[in-house]
Amino acid sequence: MPLGDVAGEALSGAFRFIARVVFEIVVDVILRGTGAMILRLLRPKHDPGEIAAMMTGLVFWGTAITVFFLVFRMGR
């Protein structure tokens, strides 16, 4: 097995690991965490499901980014 193949496989594995960690941080912490917090504020007696929390977080962050962009554009 040539050394280039071994190095390529090692780099591929390292990049895959880094991409997985970044994806987990974005999905778990930012989307699901924000969505679960919003759902707990709206429905304190119900435990939010994972998909509901993720979709709520996605809607929240999409709305926040859109509003930020529109306010920024209006200020110019």
In tens, the pLDDT along 8-54 reads 788 888 899 999 999 888 888 899 999 999 999 999 998 999 999 99
pLDDT classification of 3: cutoffs 50, 70, 90: low
Alpha-carbon gap, residue 76 to 9, rounded angstroms: 49
Q: What is the pLDDT of residue 37?
A: 95
- The whole domain housing 10 covers 3-74
- Is the pLDDT score of 1 beyond 60? no
Alpha-carbon gap, residue 69 to 32, rounded angstroms: 23
Domain count, the chain: 1
Alpha-carbon gap, residue 66 to 76, rounded angstroms: 16
Instruction: Say how many C-beta atoms besides its own lie within 10 A of residue 29's C-beta.
Output: 11
- Is the pLDDT score of 66 beyond 60? yes
